[in-house]
Amino acid sequence: MRSAPTILHLDMDAFYASAEQAAKPSLRGKAVVVGGLGPRGVVATASYEARKFGVHSAMPMGQARRLAPNAAYLVPRFGLYREISEQVMGLLRELSPLVEPLSLDEAFVDLEAGGVADSAESARAVGERLRADIRAVTGLSGSVGLAASKMLAKIASEEAKPDGLRLIAPGTERALLGPMSVRTLPGVGPATGDHLRRAGILTVAEIAEAGEDELVRLLGKAHGGSLYAMALARDERPVVAERESKSVSVEDTYDVDIHDRVRVRAEVARLAERCVQRLRAAGHSGRTIVLKVRRFDFSTLTRSETLRGPTDDPGVVQEAAARLLEAVDTTGGVRLLGVGVTGLTDYTQEDLFAQAQAEAQAQTAGVEGVSLAKGEVLGPVGPEPEPERVAEPVVPAERRWTAGHDVRHAEYGHGWVQGSGLGRVTVRFETPLSAPGRVKTFRTDDPDLEPAQPLPLVAEPAPRA
């Protein structure tokens, strides 16, 4: 661990909700909840005003509505969030070549590698300037943590929230960590936390007092040893610059729990096929297949299988996912399924046995034209007669107006959807730079109303020193 607090952790404050409040003057200072609004929706982000009612990320949306019935409930606008994230990450990359994004709204920065800080004073100055730049460019606030390691910098930014900066001076780390809950440390989730609690270990100081041998006995060599080192404020993990995606995955949440095992198998096969389509579109293959199952009681299970070599064969991925599913009990019902591929590479290690088997099956069926590269049957040689096509009347699709999304009206200008139903849509007309606007209701098929792109949250970035 370095001697100066030059690892910076930035965490944007209630990012999605704050972006919505900045875009919608009528919601500023009010409870805002962003997430899926369907029966199985979950909270993505809640504003600090909504958090006072107990609403938090990953909470079922139905529970959030019971806790905060008068909050504004909006569907995410990921296009807008990505644009803001790119602006923020651009500011971070001006500070250092070593920027490690963790999500759209969170990242580590190695200030020393950028030559912009080598002491507590210079690091604090950089952090304060960064917060000011973010507000000038995006109109939003971010909290900054500064410390000598990634673990401590993240803890510092959490303590700085909202809209603050916290620096942990070298030499004070253990005194700071000691009284904190074991859940503060990276890698300590509910299961590990319960395991430690049963052993009488509740705080970080008690982890240090227990000793490494006891931690290894309780949690295993790798996890126990790592946890003991972190309890002593030792974290040697470097800031790693952004890399290409390490995985490709797809998942679906179901409005009604799936109890039929045959249906579950079919859904897993469909998800595996979609996952491979994304994998091929990215020009990758992978060797580890991952299955994710969220059951009726919200418990989430993840199972994985590593193949002998990388593949992008849909049959291979489907079979592996099916094998993983057999080890999961779904009798109580399934609310979410996902299939992913990790261990990505740019080449495929061909399975010659699978290819030969596919070729033999094709010949047995009297089919010519087998792709040996992928082991896929291309079909019989020669054109097939096209079926006669019958023209069908074109029925215009009913326009859907999503809560929180942008619209423009020919007479009233830019606004956003407050809600819709029963053939009506309610719109509040305001912009990020206007006063709170008026509300009007239209028919959903009103020809003067159309979807629109989000407007910038600030008029023009202020000049930066």
Residues taking part in catalysis: 106
Torsion angle (degrees, nearest 10) of CA 266, 268, 274, 280? -120
Q: Cβ distance 271 to 252 under 8 Å?
A: yes
- Interhelix angle 314-326/261-281, rounded to 10 degrees, is 140
- Residue 175 has φ and ψ, to the nearest 5°, of -65, -35
Q: What SS3 class is residue 359?
A: helix
Instruction: Give dist(CA 104, CA 89) in Å, integer.
Output: 9
Long-range contact set of residues 205-210: C-beta below 8 Å, sequence gap at least 24:
205/177, 205/178, 205/179, 205/231, 206/182, 207/182, 207/231, 208/174, 208/178, 208/232
Q: Is 364 exposed, middle or buried (0-12, 13-18, 19+ CB in 10 A)?
A: exposed
CB-CB neighbours of 188 under 10 Å: 20
- Please give the sequence-ordered ranges of beta strands (E in DSSP) within 5-86, or none if there are none: 7-12, 32-35, 43-46, 72-74
**Torsional sign, CA 124, 127, 129, 131:** negative
Find out whether the peptide bond into 97 is cis, omega within 30 degrees of 0.
no
Here the tokens at position 281 are 């579109």
